[in-house]
Amino acid sequence: MNIDIFEEYRMININIISSLKNDTESIELFDKREKIIEELCCMNCSIEEKKKMYNNMGLAELDKDINNLLKEKMENIKGKINHIARNKVANKSYNSVNRRTNFFSVNV
């Protein structure tokens, strides 16, 4: 079995985690990770051997970390979008109130 591919996968996962923590997400890292996953799928060994190597090298924990970091980032961005949407609605309501003519100020 080719351990180098698993080691490369592990290193790319570590790089992805550090880039997510530093807010410098890189599409290239995810593309490299995808290519390595394709290579792993095409390897000539049994699924059990692949799972054994995957678990022995601690890749499951790294994948969970990446998943958790991505979910955290998505929730953070979703919160920012909701905050901006609420500000827009409040601003629009405020402006619409100011546009209406006040009948008390009209000269009779």
Q: What is the pLDDT of residues 60-84, one digit of tens each?
A: 999 999 999 999 999 999 999 999 9
93 vs 43, residue with greater confidence: 43
Alpha carbons 106 and 94: distance in angstroms, whole number = 21
Report H helices in the chain: 3-21, 27-42, 47-56, 59-99
pTM for the structure as a whole: 0.73
Of 49, 66, 67, residue with least CA distance to 6: 49
Q: How far apart, in whole angstroms, are the C-alpha atoms of residue 14 and residue 65? A: 10
CB distance 45 to 5 below 8 Å: no
